[in-house]
Amino acid sequence: MRDQLKGRTIFITGAGGVLGSTYVRRMLAQGARIAASDLPGRRAEALQEAHAGNPDFRYYDLDVADEAQVSEIFARILKDGWQPNVVLNNAAITGELLMGAGQPFPDFADLKLADWEKTLRTNLTGPFMIARQMDRDIVGKWPVALINVASMYALNGAHHRIYDGMPFKNFSAYGVTKAGIHGLTVWLAGYWAARGATVNTIAPGAVFNGHSDEFQRRVGELIMLNRMAEPDEIADAMLFLASEQAGYMTGQLVNVDGGFSGW
């Protein structure tokens, strides 16, 4: 399909990450205009370099955990002349992100309240603040689609054994926030329906990002298709959710997990 996203202006948080940067590349190729955001740093710089000079790409620094920054984001985008009709709540503190930052994975008994609260603030309160700002600034003014991002570990428990001896683990606050985000989706879907806004959740499965052969084997056994996903395979579903073709879907959780949640 070509130009699947023509006429779509997509605002995306955490756009410099593994999946975010894939969505940006694929969405631009389908004719979308992208207002990308992330924390300042090397991921954001690489994203801006990759799309420098593309008139359909704009970049905004944004910490989704910062209420003052979130309160201004749509005003900034609108002031620059774009009207977002798709918002993608993609930013999150992930296990891989913590590993990259060299942070240790504590046992559950040793999890610091500050780390628990930081994860809730970023992964759940952040998307809430983005949605609340959408309500204030754009919902009801033109049709809008909000896509929240959960995980295969939102409504299923983590398989702790597959992380034995691995440099990263799944951490409790992550799954809790990913379960919570679908609660935000279904609450808002009904609340916004009369104002022409849809809200859905995508729940990606395990995405390959340089994981060891042993980890791939262990997680593969839990997945019907017996392998991890490529980022582009998650993007394939994301393109549909961001397109006009998803216009009659709202309040739904879309699993893109190779069958992990199916047995």
Ligand X SMILES: NC(=O)c1ccc[n+]([C@@H]2O[C@H](COP(=O)([O-])OP(=O)(O)OC[C@H]3O[C@@H](n4cnc5c(N)ncnc54)[C@H](O)[C@@H]3O)[C@@H](O)[C@H]2O)c1
Q: Which residues in this chain contact ligand X in the complex, by CB under 6 A?
A: 13-14, 16-20, 38-39, 43, 62-65, 90-94, 96-97, 122, 149, 151, 204, 206-207
Please state whether 40 falls in left (phi above 0), alpha (psi between -120 and 50) or beta.
beta
Tell me whether residue 23 or residue 82 sits nearer to ligand X (CB atom): 23
Tell me whether residue 18 or residue 244 sits nearer to ligand X (CB atom): 18
Return the CA Rg of the chain.
Answer: 18
Closest CA to 178 of 103, 67, 62, 90: 90
The least distance separating ligand X from the CB of residue 192, rounded to whole angstroms, comes to 21
The least distance separating ligand X from the CB of residue 231, rounded to whole angstroms, comes to 8
Tell me whether residue 85 or residue 94 sits nearer to ligand X (CB atom): 94
Residue 229 forms beta bridges with which residues?
207
DSSP 8-class letter at 87: E
Convert 202-259 into a string of H (helix), E (strand) and C (coil): EEECCECCCCCHHHHHHHHCCCCCCCCECHHHHHHHHHHHCCHHHCCCCCCEEEECCC
Tell me whether residue 103 or residue 141 sits nearer to ligand X (CB atom): 103
Q: Residue 13: count other Cβ atoms within 10 Å of its Cβ.
A: 27
Tell me whether residue 143 or residue 168 sits nearer to ligand X (CB atom): 168
Closest CB to ligand X belongs to which residue?
A: 17
Tell me whether residue 39 or residue 120 sits nearer to ligand X (CB atom): 39
Q: Which residue has the tokens 């034995």?
A: 164
The least distance separating ligand X from the CB of residue 244, rounded to whole angstroms, comes to 23
Tell me whether residue 189 or residue 205 sits nearer to ligand X (CB atom): 205
Helix (H, G, I), strand (E, B) or coil at 263: coil
The least distance separating ligand X from the CB of residue 140, rounded to whole angstroms, comes to 26
The least distance separating ligand X from the CB of residue 13, rounded to whole angstroms, comes to 5
Separation of alpha carbons 46 and 185, rounded Å: 31
The least distance separating ligand X from the CB of residue 43, rounded to whole angstroms, comes to 4
Asked if residue 15 lies in contact with residue 58, where contact means CB atoms within 8 angstroms, the answer is no
Helix (H, G, I), strand (E, B) or coil at 199: strand
Between the alpha carbon of residue 5 and those of residues 22, 184, 217, 228, 243, the distances in Å are: 15, 25, 36, 27, 6
The least distance separating ligand X from the CB of residue 206, rounded to whole angstroms, comes to 5
